[in-house]
Every structure is written in C-alpha cells, then in structure tokens.
Structure 1
Amino acid sequence: MSNFQEKITFIWDCADLLRGTYKRNEYQKVILPFTVLKRFDSVLSDSKEKVLEARNKYKGQFENMEHILYDSAKDSSGKPLGFYNYSKYDFKTLLEDPEHIEQNLIHYIDRFSKNVQDIFDNFYLKAHIARLAKADLLFLLIKKFSESKVDLHPDVVSNHEMGTIFEELIRKFAEQSNEEAGEHFTPRDVVELMTKLIFVENGVHLKKKNIIKKIYDPACGTGGMLTSCKDFVLSMNESVDIVLYGQELNEEIYAVCKADMLMKGEQDENIKGPTSTLSNDQFEDDQFDFMISNPPYGTKWEADQKAVKKEAEKGFEGRFGAGLPRINDGQLLFLQHMLSKMKAKEKSRIAVITNGSPLFTGDAGSGESDIRKWMIENDFIEAIIALPDQLFYNTGIRTYIWVLTNEKPTSRVGKIQLVDATSKFKKMRRSLGYKRQYLTDDDIKQILECYNEFSSSNVKIFDNEDFGYTKVTVERPLQLNYCVTDERLEKLYAYKGFSKLAESKKDNPDEKLKEEEAGRKRRCLDDEIG
C-alpha cells in the first residue's frame, strides 16, 4: 500500500512542472490525461512488438486492419485487450528524440484504436500537448512520467488500484481548486453499503448458473459504483455474466471512466457521454436488473428544461410522467428516470443516494409531492436509510439511501422501512475535504442487520397509507373590528403619514396656514386642537 500511495504522491507532484504555464485549477487537465496515457502505454507494452509485426505483415493486404490489430493486442496472460496502438513510439522511445517530441507524441496518439482516441479527444489532449511544447515542458513531463516511480503496469498496479488512483487524483485536484469532487465519485465506504443493500435480498437468485445481469448508473462519474457492484456479484458467483452501463456529463470524468472500464476489459461502448442523462438518454430502449447512483445534489436542470418538459408531456409513456420538481434540483428526475428503467416482467432493484430535498421539499400538490405520491402508491419504496453527516468529500450535510424495487418480498408489500443509521460512523484521523467520518465494516454490518431484521430500535415500519394526506384550504369571511377609542386615536400619531397630514411645505405664510388647516380637518381633530 505504501508503494501505491507513493505513486499517487509522485503523480500529484508532477503538477509542479505546470506552475506559471497553467493555473492551479487547470492542473488536472494535463495530469489526468497523461496518467491515462501512461496506463495505456504500460498495459500495451506486453504485446507492442506483436502488434507492430502483425501490421507490417498484413499491411496492404486488407483495407481495414482493425480486427488484426485487436487480435494482436493482448495482456500478459494472452487475453485480448480490446484496444491497440500501432505506433513505433512509447514513453521510452519518445524521449530519444527531444527535438521532435511534439510531432512524435501526436503520431503516437493518432495510432490508438478509435475507442481510445475518443477518450483523448474528450481530454482535448492535443491542445495541451501544443501548449506544453510551446512552454518547453512537454519533454520534462514525459520524462517525469517515465520514471520507475510511475510504473503503472498491471503487474505492479492492479485495475482496482488504478481506479483508486484516478479517484484520489480527481479528489485532490478538486479540493485544491474548490471544485465539487463529490459530483464525480462517491466514497468507497458509502458505495459498499449501497452495493450490499441492492444485492442482499437477491443473494439466492444470484447463485444460479449461466445468468446475465445488467447494472446501470445514470450519473456514473469515474465508474466506481458500477465496478463495486460487479466485484460483489462475482464474489458470490463467478459464473454470472455482468454487463455494466453508465452515462456521464462531464467530459474529463467521462474520459477517465471510459479509460478505466476499457482497461478492465468492460464493454466501453456501454459508457456513454459526455451528455446529460435527463435530456439525452443514451439507453432509451434499455431496462436493467440493478441500478445504483449518486446524482448531483441541488443542481439546476435548467439546461435540460426543454427536453425534460417535452418528455413529461408524454405522461407515463415517457420518463417523467409523475411530475416535475422545481427547477433548482433535479434529484427526483433521476429517481423517476431510474424507475422507468426497471424491467417490466422481471425484478429490478435500485439504490440511489440523495440529500434531504427529495424527501422533504414541496407542499401537497406540488411537483415533488406528486412524484413521492406516485412512488408510494406504486409501492416502489422499500426502505430509506438516514446516514451520518460528513461522509462526503464535497458536503457535510446528511444524506439518505433510497432502496427501490418493483417486486417487494411478501413481508414488505405495502410498507416502507425507515432506518436511522446516523450514529453509525467512526471519526477519521485526518479529514478529506468535508469528509471527517466514515463507515467501518462493523457499521455497515449493523446497518444491514437493521435492514434485514425489519425491526430494531433504529427501525420504523410504516404502511404506505401513513404517508398520504390531503391539504384542504378552509376559507371564512373577512372579519374587521371597527371601534373608536381614545387609545386607538392616540396610536394614530405613531403613523408618520397621519402626522404629516397637518404639515405644509409652502413658503407663503397664508398658503401654508391654509394647507395646515385643511390637513387638520382631514385628521378630524380641529375641535381637539383648536
């Protein structure tokens, strides 16, 4: 682990080269793509020569050589990688020609397979290469990333560790530039709890042989939740065929996610972006067995408004038939979207984490209330778990895990379970942004026991009907009290406007006296004053 942390620190320190040429909040625009590039370079090293041999052997014989290059690019165990590069250059040979390093690096990038080129296009890497070359930093950066301390070969850094490196770099850069790291990934302890909540009730079914399960995250960030789900299922049954799907809006984070998935052997074409899930659903006709997500909190959906309203007009033929929340928070739109992706004739389960807004915002008859009413009436809500505060990197507020399904166990039908897990945490020795607390293995175990036992001091069970109510406006005639008393007359002098009735701004004495006299009459006080 110390070696693993050393790599993170070393890569982080590479940003020192960028000072002056880049602003602090721009460092990740260079360091992240070069880290991804170095990982691809390391992964491809085992079959580099075979790819070049295959290309030279069959060059000119086939118009499209992609299938040959894909077949030639393999890992150390002989498994196809799903991507390739047929340039003669790598990080080592690039350093042998400092005078032409910019042109050679561009040549190297252009010889990747199209799925990898899409990743670097979303990093805008070529523009940064030109900027680095102009500042005479390109050679120095490549040299830094070529040092032994940044050996990112799979034999040295596992796929799981590489994913953690990406997440930690994003968190550190976001913390440095005051950006929202939590928009892109969720702490591993929270992900573990959410993952187990999804699968805990389906454990028996997941032990069947030769089954295929589709898992989806509509705001997938770096893909950590998807990977956690797959690892958990395979730990129960290695024969299950898990297919991961995700969509991400942010360009850089989409690129990181796709790169990570590609290097893990996943179907990278199932990672869509960079587009908004709310306005541009990339899996329009797909339904999924399991869904897990941490959609952004309190984020306006103004940019998606036109498409969302158009979809809402379709009613329940679209994704937002239950209603639309206020424009400043789209979390309930994500909940509706995920519920629309449940399978029609098979069981689907969802774990999604939100802040308190989807639970408490909106009076009866509002869009938020109508959405909650629809979810309750359709018996989608299985449980809601209240978590401790200060669990996330970008916010210290309390959060809630919603467990949703279209097929509850018999004992849960018509009921909603509320679990108070706000006291289940341990203080961290050193805070990471707003994250000052974390869930231990024992905390997660206790929360799952509360969920499974369906009864404890930290659990309350309600019938769906308990949450239903109707707001009635009771109108009555306006009642005014008219009564003239000395006390009420005295209070009139406290009102500035009433006092000024007997004042005049006229300069002519006669006109001034006349205006003041008229004012006193309007106050109906002539007899008392004069």
Structure 2
Amino acid sequence: MIDGNLAFKLEKDFNPPFGIPWKREEKEVTAEHKKGANGRFAPGLPSKSDGQMLFMLNGVAKLKDTGRMAIIQNGSSLFTGDAGSGQSEIRRYLIENDWLDAIVQLPNDSFYNTGIATYVWIVTKDKPEERAGKVQLIDASQCYTSRRKNIGNKRVDITGACRDLIVKLYGDYTDGTFKDTDENGNDITVKSKVLDAVTLGYNKITVESPQLDENGDKVLKKNKPVADTKKRDTENVPLDEDIDAYFEREVLPYNPDAWIDRKKTKVGYEIPFTRTFYEYKQIEPAELIAKRIEEHEKSLMAKLHELFGEEA
C-alpha cells in the first residue's frame, strides 16, 4: 500500500510486534510517561501484556508537524480498554488532536507469522481541511488473491490491483462498497465509511440507586439518599448526545429514583470497526429448515433400509 502514490506518501511506517509484554521495560516506560508532554508516552500506558500501542505513541512523537505515518496494529487497539484506561486515552489523544486520518482492515492471513485480522492506522498531523474532524474506515478484508503456496500463515497476497483500489477509495473519501477484478480476473471488494470523529467517543456515566432499609424506605445521610453499591450500574452515552437527555430517556423511566454520580464520569473512545460494516443477513425461515431436515431424515432412512434391509 506504500507505493509512492501521493495519497499514501508517508514519513514513517511501522510494523511492530503484537501481544508482546513490556513488563521488562516497565521502569523506563513509566519514567517516560511521567515526563508528561516532554515524553513520548504522556497520553497513557496500555496493558503491560501488549506494547503495540507504545510503538504507535513513539511514532507519533517522532512525526513532524506536517508528517504522516502508517502503523500495523491488531484488533485490540481498536477497542480494548475501558473509558479512562491507557488504551482508551491513547485513542482519545489521537482523535481529539484530529490526527487519526484512516484505518484500513487488511485481509486475514496477510502475514507469515499470524492469521489474525490486522489494521493499518494512518496518522496525519496535518489533515487537509476536507478531512478535518473525520475518520475514514476502509474494510479491505475481501481484497486479496489466494496464494498458490503458503508461507507460514501467509495465505493471501495484496496485489497491485488491490492496492490501487484501496488507495483510490482513500483518495475518493466517500462511503460505499466498491468492486473490481484483480490481475487474474478474480473479484475484489473494498468498503469505505467516513465517520464524524466525535461519534467514536462516549461518556461513561455511573448510575446510582438508593439504599433501602428493612421497611423499603430510602436510607438518608445528611438528607441525601445513600447509594446502594450493589445496584450501581454504568451507561455509555455517545459523546455528541446530552447526558441529561439520555438519562431521562433511557434510565429514569425504568428507575425513577436513580441519579448520576457526575464525579465518576469518564470519557472513552473506541473504533467500532465490525459494527460499522455489519450487514444483516436474513435468517432462513424455520419452516424451510424443518423441511430440509425432514428430507435429510427420509434420505438417511432410505439408505439405511437399502443397506440393512427393512429391519433397519
């Protein structure tokens, strides 16, 4: 995909390892994090079991003000980590600074050492005006040619025709499903969706309910209801939606005595890649399934009779 095309001219590109713990480097990484804006890891630290997002922050820190980079990540970087966690804060850092330009899902089995889904994150510190406040998601998982001979887990190739189609969609910057054929005449498909960056964020609110005494009355402290920690719940409210309006619509009708503990509200970000490109498939009617099972049973019984005679 990095082929000299202006649309994908990069200052840096990275393919860090996935799922590699950084506990051994914890002292140095934590010290760097404590430097704040003067260090590479100021936004947050990911789980110690997987350091791939540290590589992302390292790359961003080295980018020029007009720079662009591409980095390979697995699916966990899209959604792992609750609101306020290191992973979520890293996503928040990229999105709220308007540096996350696009994410491209590659076909499974694209790399020789893993068959899992992989994604190219394109980070741009100087987005053009028409891309400001937006994030483009590109699903290229069905854009590949099967290899005649596997190399480890690598079973597919992203050919020139595939790269051209992906780059074209990135440049066209539009929603839709686009089809073409590769060098061997096989069908290839790429989907694109441009999202408002704010839709990737949410406020995680804590919903409290009153503690009740043995008579079913509210327990009060300084004339205020005491929260029952066993009934505590949370809700994720889209960042572009008013929290109070959401609470009145989604919570109060079912729990009229509930309230929000606003001190516990946290902002989170995730990239709902699978949900964005989900396509509902009509389920086959139960009558047809039952009929097909009945036909299979009749066919099986006929073969048993033929094999063992009428006693079967």
Report % sequence identity. 42
Moved >4 Å (runs of 4+): 478-482
- Structure 1 counterpart of 2:146: 427
Counterpart contact for 2:134–2:196, Cα < 8 Å: yes
- Structure 2 counterpart of 1:200: 6
Counterpart contact for 2:8–2:167, Cα < 8 Å: no
How far apart, in 1, do the equivalents of 2:125 and 2:145 lie? 34
How far apart, in 1, do the equivalents of 2:92 and 2:124 lie? 16
Of the three residues 28, 33, 47, the one matched with 1:307 is 28
Of the three residues 103, 112, 118, the one matched with 1:399 is 118
What letter matches 1:389 in structure 2?
A: N
What letter matches 2:43 in structure 1?
A: A
More helix by share: 1
What letter matches 2:87 in structure 1?
A: E
Counterpart contact for 2:22–2:48, Cα < 8 Å: yes
| Structure with the larger RCO, 1 or 2 (CA within 8 Å, 6+ apart) | 2
Counterpart contact for 2:21–2:49, Cα < 8 Å: yes
Q: Tell me by how many angstroms 1:408 deviates.
A: 0.8
CA deviation string 1:132-161 (max 9, x = no partner)? xxxxxxxxxxxxxxxxxxxxxxxxxxxxxx
Of the three residues 187, 206, 223, the one matched with 1:473 is 206
How far apart, in 1, do the equivalents of 2:149 and 2:199 lie? 43
Q: Tell me by how many angstroms 1:442 deviates.
A: 0.9
Of the three residues 85, 95, 111, the one matched with 1:376 is 95
Of the three residues 25, 44, 51, the one matched with 1:330 is 51
How far apart, in 2, do the equivalents of 1:363 and 1:420 lie? 25
How far apart, in 2, do the equivalents of 1:343 and 1:394 lie? 32
Q: Tell me by how many angstroms 1:200 deviates.
A: 2.4
Give the structure-1-normalised TM-score: 0.37
Of the three residues 428, 431, 437, the one matched with 2:156 is 437
How far apart, in 1, do the equivalents of 2:119 and 2:73 lie? 5
What letter matches 1:438 in structure 2?
A: D
What letter matches 1:314 in structure 2?
A: K
What letter matches 2:203 in structure 1?
A: T
- Asked if residue 343 in structure 1 is aligned to residue 64 in structure 2, the reply is yes
Q: Tell me by how many angstroms 1:477 deviates.
A: 3.0
* Structure 1 vs Structure 2 CA RMSD: 1.9
Matched residue SS, 2:208: coil
How far apart, in 1, do the equivalents of 2:33 and 2:12 lie? 22
How far apart, in 2, do the equivalents of 1:395 and 1:480 lie? 56
* 1:16-95 to 2 correspondences below 5 Å: none
- Structure 1 counterpart of 2:193: 460
Of the three residues 449, 469, 486, the one matched with 2:168 is 449
CA deviation string 1:294-344 (max 9, x = no partner)? 000010011111000001001111100101011011111111111111124
More strand by share: 2
Matched residue SS, 2:195: strand
Counterpart contact for 2:41–2:58, Cα < 8 Å: yes
How far apart, in 2, do the equivalents of 1:437 and 1:414 lie? 34
- Asked if residue 290 in structure 1 is aligned to residue 11 in structure 2, the reply is yes
Q: Tell me by how many angstroms 1:202 deviates.
A: 6.9
Query: Which segments of 5 or more consecutive residues in structure 2 lack a partner in the other structure?
Result: 178-190, 216-312
Counterpart contact for 2:22–2:50, Cα < 8 Å: yes
Counterpart contact for 2:138–2:193, Cα < 8 Å: yes
Query: Which segments of 5 or more consecutive residues in structure 1 lack a partner in the other structure?
Result: 1-192, 204-288, 483-530
Q: Tell me by how many angstroms 1:480 deviates.
A: 9.1
Of the three residues 353, 361, 364, the one matched with 2:83 is 364
How far apart, in 1, do the equivalents of 2:169 and 2:34 lie? 41
Larger Rg: 1
How far apart, in 1, do the equivalents of 2:112 and 2:213 lie? 56
Q: Tell me by how many angstroms 1:201 deviates.
A: 2.8
How far apart, in 2, do the equivalents of 1:464 and 1:312 lie? 26
- Structure 1 counterpart of 2:266: none
